[in-house]
A and B are shown apart, each in its own frame.
Chain A
Amino acid sequence: MIALLRRDLSLAVRAGGGFGLGLAFFLIIVVLVPFGVGPEAAVLSRIAPGILWVAALLAALLSLDRIFALDFEDGTLPLLATSPLPLEGVALIKGVAHWITTGLPLTLAAPAFGFLLNLDPSAYVWLLASLALGTPALSMIGTFGAALTVGLRRGGLLMSLLVLPLYVPTLIFGAETVRRGALGLDAITPLLMLAGITLGSFALLPFATSSALRVNLK
């Protein structure tokens, strides 16, 4: 499993665009929003939690179809399926690798983007915590969506449609955590719900992902 994780990470780094693409997309959204809604600081700081979370979600969505597509095309995926490693483990590692290449850099970079959107200083802790706890769920759900559409030509748009409703709870609790944090309210409840979703995704979704992969590799 560790070897697979290493392989995926080094592929992401060496193929280029692995770490950068999601971040660049995040930056684009954060830069475009003030042009769209106007530069008033009060408006920006009010919508900043939601914008940051939506941007993180879209950045994760953007890179999803790379999770299995390349391995499927060059024949690595059937090899992985017949290896002694259980396919559930492969699914889990793929999700983790996706998180390390998109979710983790987004989480680390988020305070800087929060600064650009004039986010309330008291919300930074909550922003970091909610992204750190929530983006793994985005990666796991996305891995499931990618597994469903892996054999399809032009599956990208379909995958977005499938994954979008599944992302709703994560987005709501994530943005709510930051919003409450910015208002100085108690933000621990939505954060715990977010952690619950993430743990549930890690516990259950690898099974769904691997069964979808098995069907697609049959």
Chain B
Amino acid sequence: MSIWEYANPKKFIATTTPLVPWVLGVAIACLVVGLVWGFFLTPDDFRQGSTVKIIYLHVPAALMAINAWFMMLAMSLIWLVRRHHVSALAARAAAPVGIVMTLIALITGAIWGQPMWGTWWAWDPRLTSFLILFLFYLGYMALWEAIEDPDTAADLTSVLCIVGSVFAVLSRYAVNFWNQGLHQGTSIPVATGERTISDVFFVPLLICMVGFGLLFLALVLIRTQTEIRVRRIRALEIRMRS
């Protein structure tokens, strides 16, 4: 019994199918509780007023945008080393979810930035690195779509994902160096554990983060199952033709 058993597509579908409604249900519950709590039950911030409430969408989306890429990196490495098709398909399935998360973070950031900074967009390190992340996702998805043979596509996108990760980290430091930021620093530094955000805002934010994480998980599971089934259909079609 090892974790690699779940790399068998049949076993993967059998295991995850009953799991998906639960994950999705808990995700929606977390999002409803977190967003309602955040939007209606927290006081307005003394400086930012009610606009601070967009944080409940902005921060979790940004978090998941980055973590989705990390997940794709892990899946790409597993594909290259152990050649489990499910991992390559999971990486493929995660990319559109990741790009949507990036877009949500960019758009809510623009909506938040307009009243706060007086501008929709600034060439600030954090904003710019998210735009670059968006380009990475775009290139990754375009490469998947462009290649006919699924195994070749999986190989090439995995290599691209690994090289892209190195350059994504590099870009992050480069843009920091390039321009001083307008964006505030992180409110929840993991390293020091000292929060600059008060508990009133933090608890619903945490619930929203958990909700976004589970939503991502549910979407990736569903999309991976779909990819597996699409591939089965294609295999059947080829068999019928011959």
Task: Show the binding face of A for B, using Cβ within 8 Å.
Answer: 144, 148-149, 151-152, 155, 158, 161-162, 164-166, 168-169, 172-173, 176, 190, 193, 197, 204-205, 208, 211-212, 215-216, 218
Say yes or no: is B155 at the interface (Cβ < 8 Å to chain A).
yes
Question: Which chain B residues lie closer than 8 Å to A155 at the CB level?
Answer: 146
The answer to whether B146 touches A152 (Cβ under 8 A) is: yes
Give the size range of B's interface with the partner.
20 to 34
Residue among A151, A165, A176 with max Cβ neighbours from chain B (10 Å): A165
Cβ-Cβ contact count across A and B, 8 Å cutoff: 77
Q: What are the interface flags for B126-152 relative to A under an 8 Å C-beta threshold, 1 for contact and 0 otherwise?
A: 000000100110110011001100001
Question: Is B156 a contact partner of A212 (Cβ separation < 8 A)?
Answer: yes
B interface SS class: helix
Which residues of B are in contact with A by a Cβ distance under 8 Å? 132, 135-136, 138-139, 142-143, 146-147, 152, 155-156, 159-160, 162-164, 166-168, 170-171, 173-175, 177-178
Report yes or no: B143 in contact with A148, Cβ–Cβ below 8 A.
yes
Cβ-closest chain A residue relative to B137: A165
Q: In the complex the two chains form, is A169's CB within 8 Å of B152's CB? A: no
Known contacts: A155-B146, A158-B143. The answer to whether A166 contacts B174 by CB under 8 A is no
* Shortest Cβ distance from residue B5 to the other chain A in the assembled complex, whole angstroms: 27
Residues on B with C-beta less than 8 A from A205 are: 163
B123 to chain A, nearest CB (A): 11
Contact B136–A165 (Cβ < 8 Å): yes
The answer on a CB contact under 8 Å between A208 and B163 is: yes
The secondary-structure label for the interface of chain A is: helix
Query: Known contacts A169-B170, A190-B177; is A161 also within 8 Å of B162 by CB?
Result: no
User: Known interface pairs A148-B160, A168-B167. Does A216 touch B143 (Cβ–Cβ under 8 Å)?
Assistant: no
Residues of chain A within 8 A (CB-CB) of B175 are 168, 172
A166 nearest CB neighbor, chain B only: B167
Nearest chain A CB to B49 CB, angstrom units: 35
Kindly report which residue of chain B lies nearest to residue A215, judged by CB atoms: B155
Q: Is the CB of B162 within 8 A of A208?
A: yes
The 7 listed contacts between A and B (C-beta, < 8 Å) are A151-B147, A151-B152, A162-B142, A165-B167, A165-B168, A168-B171, A172-B175
A176–B177 touching, CB < 8 Å? yes
Distance of A27 from chain B, by nearest CB (Å)? 27
Q: Are A208 and B159 in contact (CB under 8 A)?
A: yes
**Pairs of residues from A and B, 8 with the lowest C-beta to C-beta distance, nearest first:** A169-B174, A165-B135, A215-B155, A162-B139, A172-B174, A169-B170, A172-B178, A166-B167
The closest CB in chain A to the CB of B170 belongs to A169
Are B155 and A169 touching (Cβ within 8 A)? no
Residues of A within 8 A of B147 (CB): 151-152
